[in-house]
Amino acid sequence: MGELLSQLRGDNNIRVVVLTGPGNGIFHAGKHQPGSAKPVPPDQEDEWFDFRGIRRIHQEMAESEKIFVAKVNGNAVSMGSSLVFASDIIVAREDAVIADFHLGDDGTGVVPGDGGCALVPLFMTPAKAKEYLLLGKQYTAGELARLGVINYAVPASKLDATVDDIVARLLKRPVYALAWAKRVANKRVTDHLNLTLDAASAYEQLNKLHQKRTAL
């Protein structure tokens, strides 16, 4: 996905990117969710590609001149919720669940190293962000919209029309002014990612190494 986003960034025919799920009521479920299997112990090569990819995804979304609109058509869990919070404008089904379950309650949890620890504190108060990350607090999109965390929560029947309207309005804006405005507005996001994302990814890998040692 990082490679794809890099290619999109270089395509001057694209100004707005809509991220959505496959159409089965799931935006992105992630692999860290209640009842999921214990995480597989890390392989150095796999971890290198995984976390380099995560870094590229967030870097491209934050620094790209394209506007990313999240069309959350279903539950967004763990990495899915990170993709939501990495977007510039967030529109979701009002009943979609948004949560991060990296830190499970069965002793097998890991640091939310794929973006949660880096992004969520930008959207919530410190106390709410820590409840969300540390206790796996679940929210519906409707609740997050009322809290001002996401832009819109709408009935499923209105999701397409709402996103289409937003995209049409964005495309009416002047090309370069819109792109530069996004870059300036996101300076705080890119700075925060530089401060936190590598550390969070490294601690998640450390957790997996500890689990591997414990399993031996």
pLDDT digits (tens, 9 = 90+) for 132-165: 999 999 999 999 999 999 999 999 999 999 999 9
Q: What percent of the chain has pLDDT over 90?
A: 65
Indicate whether 13 pLDDT > 60: yes
Indicate whether 44 pLDDT > 60: yes
Give the predicted TM-score (pTM) of the model.
0.88
What is the average pLDDT score of the chain? Answer: 88
Indicate whether 131 pLDDT > 80: yes
The closest of 69, 81, 63 to 26, measured between CA atoms, is 81
pLDDT category of residue 49 using cuts at 50, 70 and 90: confident
For the segment(s) 2-215, the CATH number from 3.90.550.10, 3.90.1150.10, 3.30.200.20, 3.90.226.10 is 3.90.226.10
Q: What is the mean pLDDT of residues 158-185?
A: 96
Q: What percent of the chain has pLDDT over 70?
A: 88
pLDDT digits (tens, 9 = 90+) for 69-119: 999 999 999 999 999 999 999 999 999 999 999 988 777 788 998 999 999
The predicted structure's pLDDT at residue 212: 65
Rounded Cα distance, 48 and 208, in Å: 13
The closest of 75, 55, 74 to 118, measured between CA atoms, is 55
